[in-house]
Amino acid sequence: MNEQTRTEIMALRREQNVAYVASVNETGYPQVKAMLVLEHESPMVHYFSTNTSSRRVAQFRGNPKASVYYCDPGSYKGALFTGTLEVLTDSAAKAMLWREGFEMYYPKGVTDEDYCVLRFTAETVNYYHGLANATHAVKELL
């Protein structure tokens, strides 16, 4: 991966407020959901939060294969990260991702049992821009 591609992927990821997270349902079909971008530990690790009781959490617990897509529709750039997702319910992960205003969704606060963190670990990234489309190991972004 050249430096320009690396820079563009990292900028795309940093500048987007929403990512599209895909899971696999119980019959093997992909399902996509828009989710707020909250944290990035590294180019390999992305964090989201949701309800522990959600259909999405049940799907990830049954099959951790996932993808996360960041795009800028105005410039026709997109980065599709593919990897695995784990559901975290420990207090440290929940506290790390907690934001003011989450009480609207989780009335018991950061300890609400219906609040969990999704930790996505990417293995590859497919970058699309200007009719170019290439897949790279995420380690090349480090």
Q: Cα–Cα distance between 64 and 121 in angstroms, integer?
A: 10
pTM: 0.93
β-bridge partners, 71: 78
Confidence of residue 131 (pLDDT cuts 50, 70, 90): confident
**What residue spans define the domains of the chain?**
3-141
The CATH class that applies to domain 3-141 reads: mainly beta
Average pLDDT over residues 72-99: 95
Average pLDDT over residues 106-123: 97
Q: What is the percent of the chain where pLDDT is above 70?
A: 100
Residues 6+ apart with CB under 8 A from 78: 12, 69, 70, 71, 72, 127, 128, 129
Q: What is the b/e burial string over 102-139, where b = at least 16 CB atoms within 10 angstroms of the residue's CB?
A: beeebeeeeebeebbbbbbbbeebbbebeeeeeebebe
